[in-house]
Amino acid sequence: MTDATTDLATGPITTNDGRPLKEALAASLAVRRRRAFLLVAPLFLFILISFIIPIGQMLGKSIYNDGFSSHAPALAAWFDAHPAGSAIDESAYVALRDDLVAMKKDKTAGEAGTRINYDISGTRSLFTAAARGAEKMQPPYMDAFLKLDKKWGDPNVWRAMRSASSPFTMDFYLAANDLKRNEDGKIVSVGEGQAVYKKLMLRTLVLSLEITAICLLIGFPIAHLLATLPMRKAMLLMIFVLLPFWTSLLVRTTAWMVLLQQQGVLNDLMVWLGIIGDDGRVQMIYNQMGTIIAMTHILLPFTILPLYSVMKTIPPSYVRAARSLGATSWTAFRRVYVPQTLPGVGAGGLLVFILAMGYYITPALVGGADGQMISNLIAFHMQKSLNWSLAAALAAQLLAVVLIFFWIYDRLVGIDKMKLG
Amino acid sequence: MTATTTDEGFVVFDHVQKSYDGETLVVKDLNLSIAKGEFLTMLGPSGSGKTTCLMMLAGFETATNGRILLDGTNINELPPHKRGIGMVFQNYALFPHMTVAENLSFPLEVRGMGKSEREAKVMRALDMVQMGKFAHRRPAQMSGGQQQRVALARALVFDPALVLMDEPLGALDKQLREHMQFEIKHLHDSLGLTVVYVTHDQGEALTMSDRVAVFNDGRIQQLAPPDELYERPKNSFVAQFIGENNKLPGIVEELDGEKCLVRLATGEIIDATPVNIRHKGQETLVSIRPERVEFKPEMMPPGAHMIDAEVLEVIYMGDIFRTRMKVAGSTDFVMKSRNTIGQTKLHPGQHVKIGWHPADARALDPM
């Protein structure tokens, strides 16, 4: 902001002291811009460190896994020199032995075995056992290995090792779509009994859409009531709407268990009223119905609030105008009121849909076997099977589906029309 | 066009009462008859019940008691969409998700009119308000005045016999408002519409209406043509509400049919015309229009009483001089005199004698 000395501006407009106008403007705004940046810098750093970097790393795991490749350099070199389809000869077993000897020394045989185990189950012990005996093996190693375990001659094992010898792989995405590579390296679908992920992804999608639709159906009248009631009553109603927010998710979910289970309050009531017999108690929880009921309850405020904020801005004179122009109350509602609530419907619906797609605790607690969603499986791979790469691939696919819906919404409605509050 | 409470008017309010809470009446015993082709304005301060009356007529509020008749039939129980009344709202209420043409087409569509007939009618209505080339705009892309024209066209497109307007020009600036007043009046004349117009702007009421109903406290205070309302207000409220007005409190000294003498608080005697004075010795509020006050003796009728006034302030307003004076102890007495050639110029501090024609000083109830 200091020098206004020699260089006469070449631009068409300059300040009184000869500086280009744009430069002067930038300089005068620089302090304000710097201050604004400093204000948001903590949040930016927080998001970067706690969200973007970990998510990026996690998603990176879906295509990058060096559990095997980093511990088997000799085999990796052999696979490089011999393209797929070449015969597995003695030189390959020499490389295998070298790597296993090194693994034994570094105690990494388990890790490498785990990676192969993702592709062919039951192979982890193959590696740990072979590593223990590798040092004492005598050539020819091919025979030695086959004597140790017949599986060492299995072309599937060798194909899995070839694929794992490079840390970059699409195998986890194949697995996430119920696909695998066969002996020839062709992509085929896994057997009928093992295909779970696509079915589960589809179920997650259908359940989420159902929950979104129910939330909108229930939420619309409540939001309308909230927007039109007198202030005092509206505030009371608002507290009821927000009450679930102030209660722990776990408490609410367990409350549904108490209410809905076969020996629960609702069934007792229906038996007492004689609607159903004591032997005809309805299974309302630990199945899809339980997931739908509990999640609708939990996600309802997310539809009501955006709808309410939109409806609050629609003056009653629109419907009145429609009525005075000769429309019945139904026509006025359908053709004048509803179109104006669409930004709220879109926002509420999208919000609930996205939240429902990734919901985990509630389906885990009340979903039973057929109420599970894809996130439960992601959690299973994160915590139980420890196949983080597959979990990451599933999560990335989930993210992609959500983004696709977001894109469709943007094309149909326009994201700028969305109104969250 | 006199106010008769029979079933003969086109629109009749027959002993209508309205309460929202069951404790207070917002509209107290309203009787009003509106002739076909009449432009009637409901004028009053906010909360006076005028908008409630309009809403009852439109069907958005129900009368708590009494009948509302439209063309001889009781419409108390008739839902708004069956009344066939056009309505213009204060905030225009144009549907934001429809184009201008779709907005105008809406009332025709719900009446099941064919497409070609609809289009012809829409274009005719739009041309009527000179908005033909805006047919495919959305309301948000137009100025307030343009939106108001479209709202007007929409209220007229289905040929309603009765049009209600709820402060339709309230959101426009002064110049545009005056222009639209003229246009609405012109449409009223050329289409032979019956218009019920609600406003709190007395200037608007005076310039547009055939008759004005002045509302206050849930009652019609006076129902009269504009000139009568301005020149012969029936009570203090009307005198205060319509136009500028000087008020002088006093006691009726003499009462003689068409004339009376009023003694002011400071002892002076002035001439006045008794309006709602019943007996001698009654307290009264004398109301005089500023432009009817004279300070030149030759302009006054013979025998008229004159009182002392001290000039406090003279404001030059172009066409007139506005002179604030101290009269009978009150310091907000205003006189307006025309800016003509040879007009005597007054100065602050000057003492003059002022007076008026007895017919212009109206002795009213003391409020």
Higher-confidence position of A121 and A294: A294
* Burial bucket for residue A244 (CB in 10 Å: 0-12, 13-18, 19+): middle
Please give the Cα distance from A67 to B239 (Å, whole number): 96
Contacts of A332 in chain B (CB under 8 A): 81
- Which residue of chain B is at minimal alpha-carbon distance from A323? B81
Same structural domain, B274 and B134: no
In this predicted structure, what is the pLDDT of residue B152?
Answer: 92
Per residue in A158-192, pLDDT (tens digit) is 888 888 888 888 888 888 888 887 767 788 888 77
CB nearest A321 (choices: B79, B83, B89): B89
Same structural domain, B36 and B110: yes
Helix/strand/coil (H, E, C) string of chain A? CCCCCCCCCCCCCECCCCCEHHHHHHHHHHHHHHHHHHHHHHHHHHHHHHHHHHHHHHHHCCCECCCCHHHCHHHHHHHHHCCCCCCCCHHHHHHHHHHHHHHHHHCCHHHHHHHHHHHCCCCHHHHHHHHHHHCCCCCCHHHHHHHHCHHHHCHHHHHHHHHHCCCECCHHHHHHCCEEECCCCCEEECCHHHCCHHHHHHHHHHHHHHHHHHHHHHHHHHHHHHHHCCHHHHHHHHHHHHHHHHCCHHHHHHHHHHHHCCCCHHHHHHHHHCCCCHHHCCCCCCCHHHHHHHHHHHHHHHHHHHHHHHHCCCCCHHHHHHHHCCCCHHHHHHHHHHHHHHHHHHHHHHHHHHHHHCCCHHHHHHCCCCCCCHHHHHHHHHHCCCCHHHHHHHHHHHHHHHHHHHHHHHHHCCHHHCCCC
Lowest-confidence pick of A21-35, A223-237, A402-416, B17-31? A402-416
- Which residue of chain A is at minimal alpha-carbon distance from B81? A326
Q: Does any domain span residue B6? A: no
A vs B: CB pairs below 8 A: 69
Per residue in A366-388, pLDDT (tens digit) is 888 888 889 999 999 989 888 88
| Structure tokens belonging to residue A195 | 């295909």
Per residue in A222-264, pLDDT (tens digit) is 999 999 999 899 999 999 888 877 888 888 888 888 888 888 8
In this predicted structure, what is the pLDDT of residue A10?
Answer: 52
Same structural domain, B232 and B271: no
φ/ψ of residue A17, rounded to 5: -90, 15
The end-to-end CA distance of chain B, in Å, is 29
- pLDDT above 90 covers a percentage of chain A that reads 29
B84 touches chain A (CB under 8 A): yes
Going by the DSSP 8-state scheme, the letter that residue B70 receives in this structure is E
Q: Does any domain span residue B1? A: no
A336 touches chain B (CB under 8 A): yes
| Segment A207-228 mean pLDDT | 95
Same structural domain, B15 and B158: yes
Whether the per-residue pLDDT at B227 is higher than 90: the answer is: yes
Per residue in B305-329, pLDDT (tens digit) is 888 899 999 999 888 999 999 998 8
Give the distance from residue B36's alpha carbon to the nearest chain A alpha carbon, in angstroms: 20
- Which residue of chain A is at minimal alpha-carbon distance from B87? A324
Q: Does any domain span residue B2? A: no
CB contact (8 A) between residue A328 and residue B81: yes
CB contact (8 A) between residue A339 and residue B97: yes
Nearest to B157 by CA among B58, B90, B87: B87
- Which residue of chain B is at minimal alpha-carbon distance from A325? B107
CB contact (8 A) between residue A326 and residue B110: yes
The model's confidence at residue A325, banded by pLDDT at 50, 70 and 90, is very high
Contacts of A328 in chain B (CB under 8 A): 79, 81, 110
Please give the Cα distance from A115 to A161 (Å, whole number): 9
| Structure tokens belonging to residue A251 | 């408490």
Q: Do B236 and B365 contact (CB within 8 A), yes or no?
A: yes
Same structural domain, B182 and B254: no
Per residue in B123-158, pLDDT (tens digit) is 999 998 889 899 999 999 999 889 999 999 999 999
A315 touches chain B (CB under 8 A): yes
Q: Which of A310, A320, A324, A334 to mutate to test the interface with B (most CBs of B within 10 A)?
A: A324
CB nearest A325 (choices: B60, B79, B107): B107
Same structural domain, B165 and B250: no
The model's confidence at residue A420, banded by pLDDT at 50, 70 and 90, is low
Per residue in B194-226, pLDDT (tens digit) is 999 999 888 899 999 999 999 999 999 999 999
Q: Do A349 and A341 contact (CB within 8 A), yes or no?
A: no
Please give the Cα distance from B161 to B183 (Å, whole number): 18
Judged by DSSP in three states, B299 sits in: helix
Find residues 120-149 of chain A whose CB sits inside 8 Å of chain B.
none
Q: Does any domain span residue B4? A: no
Contacts of A317 in chain B (CB under 8 A): 89-91, 93
Nearest to B161 by CA among B242, B84, B107, B58: B84
CB contact (8 A) between residue B86 and residue A322: no
CB contact (8 A) between residue B158 and residue A321: no
Give the distance from residue B155's alpha carbon to the nearest chain A alpha carbon, in angstroms: 7
Please give the Cα distance from B176 to A186 (Å, whole number): 77
Q: Do B364 and B236 contact (CB within 8 A), yes or no?
A: yes
Whether the per-residue pLDDT at A3 is higher than 60: the answer is: no
- Which residue of chain A is at minimal alpha-carbon distance from B107? A325
Per residue in B21-71, pLDDT (tens digit) is 888 999 999 999 999 999 999 999 988 889 999 999 999 999 999 999 999
Instruction: Write the CATH number for B136.
Output: 3.40.50.300
Find residues 120-149 of chain B whose CB sits inside 8 Å of chain A.
none
Q: Do B54 and B196 contact (CB within 8 A), yes or no?
A: yes
- Which residue of chain B is at minimal alpha-carbon distance from A317? B93
Helices (H), B16-170: 50-58, 100-109, 115-128, 144-156
How many structural domains is chain B composed of?
2
Same structural domain, B193 and B282: no
- pLDDT above 70 covers a percentage of chain A that reads 95
Q: Half-sphere exposure of A137 toward its Cβ, with a 13 Å CA cutoff?
A: 25
In this predicted structure, what is the pLDDT of residue A408?
Answer: 87
- Which residue of chain A is at minimal alpha-carbon distance from B164? A324
Whether the per-residue pLDDT at B3 is higher than 90: the answer is: no
Higher-confidence position of A417 and B4: A417
B10 touches chain A (CB under 8 A): no
Q: Do B325 and B334 contact (CB within 8 A), yes or no?
A: yes
CB nearest A317 (choices: B93, B97, B107): B93
- Which residue of chain A is at minimal alpha-carbon distance from B59? A324
Please give the Cα distance from B135 to B120 (Å, whole number): 12
CB contact (8 A) between residue A320 and residue B80: yes
Same structural domain, B182 and B305: no
Full residue range of the structural domain in which residue B176 is found:
11-236
B93 touches chain A (CB under 8 A): yes
Contacts of B355 by beta carbon, 8 Å cutoff, 6+ apart: B293, B294, B297, B300, B304, B305, B306, B307
CB nearest A320 (choices: B60, B107, B110): B60
Domain A197-417: which CATH number of 3.40.50.450, 3.40.50.300, 3.30.10.20, 1.10.3720.10 = 1.10.3720.10
| Mean pLDDT of the residues in chain B | 89
| Mean pLDDT of the residues in chain A | 87
Whether the per-residue pLDDT at B173 is higher than 80: the answer is: yes
Same structural domain, B272 and B231: no
| Structure tokens belonging to residue A252 | 């609410």
Contacts of A202 by beta carbon, 8 Å cutoff, 6+ apart: none
Instruction: Write the CATH number for B306.
Output: 2.40.50.140
Same structural domain, B145 and B64: yes
Find residues 316-335 of chain A whose CB sits inside 8 Å of chain B.
317-318, 320-329, 331-332, 335
Per residue in B255-304, pLDDT (tens digit) is 887 888 888 888 888 888 888 888 888 889 899 999 989 888 777 777 77
Q: Which residue do the tokens 């404001």 mark?
A: B315
In this predicted structure, what is the pLDDT of residue A11?
Answer: 52
CB contact (8 A) between residue B80 and residue A317: no
In Å, what is the CA distance from B334 to each residue of A20, B233, B246, B315? 60, 18, 7, 11
In this predicted structure, what is the pLDDT of residue B240?
Answer: 87
Other CB atoms within 10 A of residue B197 CB: 27
Same structural domain, B230 and B87: yes
Query: Residue ranges of the domains in chain A?
Result: 1-60, 69-169, 197-417
Contacts of A339 in chain B (CB under 8 A): 95, 97
Whether the per-residue pLDDT at A336 is higher than 70: the answer is: yes
Choosing from B201, B236, B271, the residue where a domain stops is: B236
- Which residue of chain B is at minimal alpha-carbon distance from A341? B97
CB contact (8 A) between residue B87 and residue A324: yes
